[in-house]
Chain A
């Protein structure tokens, strides 16, 4: 073996070790900084969406810096308006208690009606016999969340007009609801005791579930701010960039790889741009559809808009938009008392079914019409890959992983396929 061979082999070993160390360091950094991934990505994606807007303003002779500051101001204003709106509709302590009482009452009432339960809550119709093993523990858990503690009950009684609690039946509906709730919970407890021990075990376990450590609102706000401060910074710097990042990356590429690298970057930019813009449009369309359909079946406009925004926002995660629309729609259906639908066939008895139909229709429209038209071939991924990717992302990184699974898979797919194609075209492999 010659000296040149030995030195070449040492060089290869050194480069391999350096690459492996780089990968490990990169993975460690990603894991260590995972709490910053979502804010950084949100800032980056917003910058990506806003780039054409900045260019448009620049074309109108607005300096780039001024255009970016204007956009940032618009976002800050929008955020302030949204926060104010949310604060305005947030119930006070007394309102929250009333809401819980009403929700628990409606939930119990509708569950009993749907399952055809008898008075002691031990026998029901065929649906109940088929599903009560799964549904009862779930209902118990929701009931425990909504039921008032003795202190809350005392607070609620104190908040009612003097004498309301001892007044004759029908004079205060909420007091009646609360009485009915207590009675139903007692009946459910008796019914649970009557069941074999194995079946009632999960209920008692659920009751003793530990509650998370409490955090003061100021500390929580500090935590959020310290993490999310990266989002506007990312937004500003990426919008300020006029190609320096891309040119900086390409400057590090050897001359013979320049053109392939330029093409790969263009493919990546196209794929990511198509995905981000397509997804943004799809979320808007889905949100609008949900608003329209829910309004049609009798959900008041402000609640339909709230559910529509929530659905559109969660649609960023595959299959999550549908779940969000269904859960929030059903939650409204459980809470709603007076429903005045424009459609004659919708009534308070079948309202839940109509909510499910509306959400399913919106999902169908999304899958059959919006996705093929708006997203097109931007994310040409097999559904199994999407499901595995989202679940894998959730296991590894939680919500962040779910959120970034599809864009990450898309980027990796385009990177690998485009690199292979370019290297082959230029005779480099």
Chain B
């Protein structure tokens, strides 16, 4: 079986700062590990069918065409206009998202009450997997559409129904969700470790 999550490779991609990150808060680097694939991994998705698009999403790339068709029957498609919040910090979460078209700004309220930009997501990034896994989660960041955005969402209730009707498919999806969450958690720890190990060097200088 090919390795889906080559940690160093993904880490390099996820923790790399895009060119326009001057405005991003420098302390937010570990947080960026928690969000979806970067432009390098994004696949151009123009006018393809929902099943074709799902096939390009890392989460679902293992699934066969029949399973993808079943999945396409239960995902919800939502459209957002520029500046509209997909969800807001502090509110409960019950769905996870896959970005299909457009850009999403991930922000968090700083200690002074100002908005701290954390990441910019591009298709086919997925985020908030823990909400769909059934974790009683309260969202710790906000996601906002930058321009017109099209998203696919899958709720915990949808996954519950999938588990009853198609347990094998649900199992595959849940395993992938758990795998992605585990990788992100390790990257977060890694990033935190890197950040702390850089501190003494800065002090020395």
Which residues of A does B touch, CB under 8 Å?
51-52, 55, 58-59, 242-244, 247, 250-251, 255-256, 258-259, 262-263, 265-266, 269, 425-427
Contact = CB atoms under 8 A, between A and B. Distances in A.
B62 interface: no
A247 B164 contact: no
A262 B168 CA distance: 24
A266 B76 contact: no
Nearest to B84: A255
A291 B198 CA distance: 79
Contacts of B92: 259, 425-426
A242 B69 CA distance: 11
B165 A256 contact: no
Contact of B166 (A59, A262, A266): A59
Given A262-B94, A263-B157, A242 B166 contact: no
Given A242-B73, A258-B78, A259-B87, A265 B93 contact: no
A47 to B, nearest CB: 14
Contact of A259 (B93, B160, B161): B93
A262 B157 contact: yes
Interface string B165-191: 110100000000000000000000000
Given A243-B74, A262-B94, A52 B153 contact: no
B165 A55 contact: yes
Contacts of B78: 255, 258
Contact of A243 (B73, B156, B160): B73
Nearest to B157: A266
Nearest to A259: B94
A242 B74 CA distance: 8
B155 A247 contact: no
Given A52-B164, A55-B166, A243-B74, A255 B80 contact: yes
A250 B76 contact: yes
Contacts, number: 57
A73 B69 CA distance: 27
Contacts of A251: 76-77
A391 B46 CA distance: 59
Contact of B85 (A52, A58, A256, A266): A256
Contacts of A259: 87, 92-95, 155
A85 B49 CA distance: 52
B63 to A, nearest CB: 15
A395 B70 CA distance: 45
B160 A266 contact: yes
Contacts of B87: 259
A262 B95 CA distance: 9
Interface in B132-154: 153
Interface in B71-93: 73-74, 76-78, 80, 84-87, 90-93
Contacts of B73: 242-244
B94 A263 contact: yes
A266 B155 contact: yes
Contacts of A244: 73
A171 to B, nearest CB: 67
B128 to A, nearest CB: 11
Contact of B164 (A55, A58, A242, A258): A55
A307 B203 CA distance: 88
B116 to A, nearest CB: 21
Contacts of B84: 255
B91 A427 contact: yes
29 contacts: A52-B164, A52-B165, A55-B164, A55-B165, A59-B165, A59-B166, A59-B168, A243-B74, A244-B73, A247-B76, A251-B77, A258-B76, A258-B95, A258-B153, A259-B87, A259-B92, A259-B93, A259-B95, A262-B76, A262-B95, A262-B155, A263-B157, A266-B155, A269-B157, A269-B161, A425-B91, A426-B91, A426-B92, A427-B90
Given A242-B73, A259-B93, A425-B92, A265 B80 contact: no
Interface string B114-136: 00000000000000000000000
Nearest to B74: A243
Contacts of B153: 258
* 3 tightest A-B CB contacts, nearest first: A266-B157, A55-B165, A242-B73
Contacts of B80: 255
Nearest to A425: B92
Contacts of A425: 91-92
A244 to B, nearest CB: 8
Nearest to B131: A259
A128 B92 CA distance: 68
A65 to B, nearest CB: 14
A247 B92 CA distance: 21
Nearest to A428: B91
Nearest to B156: A266
B136 to A, nearest CB: 11
A258 B94 CA distance: 10
Nearest to A256: B85
Among B153, B157, B160, B168, residue most surrounded by chain A Cβ atoms (within 10 Å): B157
A251 B79 CA distance: 10
Contacts of A51: 165
Contacts of A242: 73-74
Contacts of A55: 164-166
Contacts of A247: 76
A258 B155 CA distance: 10
Contacts of B158: 262
A366 B157 CA distance: 32
A129 to B, nearest CB: 62
Given A55-B165, A251-B76, A259-B92, 18 more contacts: A51-B165, A55-B166, A242-B73, A250-B76, A255-B78, A258-B95, A259-B155, A262-B95, A263-B94, A263-B155, A263-B157, A265-B157, A266-B155, A266-B156, A266-B160, A269-B161, A425-B91, A427-B90
